[in-house]
Chain A
Amino acid sequence: AQKITQTQPGMFVQEKEAVTLDCTYDTSDQSYGLFWYKQPSSGEMIFLIYQGSYDEQNATEGRYSLNFQKARKSANLVISASQLGDSAMYFCAMREGPGSNYQLIWGAGTKLIIKP
């Protein structure tokens, strides 16, 4: 079974609109972490935002926020006021268990294209 599911292979969004990228996860661990990364066509994987399973508040970093719904096991990334430079692949990833970065499990990614 897929541990990380990103259901949107690709999305087109008008510049300045908000974007929601979906991510659902499957784990039986109580302690886990959820990550979002951005990968432009250049290849670099850029860390965007992190949410711990025990964090009570949704994580926010500038224009990025994570809509964490624990009961539904979803961790959607919201980008407010999208910009042309946001066009990239976006990956959701999960770390199961405390403190072990080795075990990052990755989704297949969503390709986001921002239209001018």
Chain B
Amino acid sequence: ETGVTQTPRHLVMGMTNKKSLKCEQHLGHNAMYWYKQSAKKPLELMFVYSLEERVENNSVPSRFSPECPNSSHLFLHLHTLQPEDSALYLCASSPQSSGNTIYFGEGSWLTVV
């Protein structure tokens, strides 16, 4: 069982909908990440939170809005998405002080119709 849990695992939404992806980590880590994985592309880092503060935003469109209410939870709020936003969204976490390992969740498969 992974220490990083993502819900929902699958989501289908219309372009006018508002939905959220949720990530929870049970590892006591201080850093959390959102990645996007599209077909035939390397993983793209979207957002990084360290100690609940956003430290990285890789030019992600504003239709994606992250929220980190505490060090164990991370959300990705979605609104007015486009079909090209359909992808696997992976949440990950890592210890703040360690450079060795990032642990991923199982991912949320998003389809925008």
Contact = CB atoms under 8 A, between A and B. Distances in A.
Contacts, number: 60
B39 to A, nearest CB: 11
Contacts of A99: 97, 99
Residue from B33, B55, B94, B102 having most chain A Cβ neighbours under 10 A: B102
Given A101-B94, A102-B55, A108-B42, A42 B106 contact: yes
22 contacts: A33-B100, A42-B106, A43-B9, A43-B88, A43-B90, A44-B107, A45-B90, A45-B107, A50-B100, A50-B101, A52-B100, A91-B42, A93-B43, A95-B99, A98-B99, A99-B99, A101-B31, A102-B48, A102-B56, A104-B45, A104-B102, A109-B42
Lowest 9 CB-CB distances: which A-B pairs, in order? Answer: A45-B104, A43-B107, A44-B106, A106-B42, A106-B43, A99-B99, A101-B94, A102-B48, A102-B56
Interface of B: 2, 9, 31, 33, 40-43, 45, 48, 55-56, 88, 90, 92, 94, 97, 99-107, 109
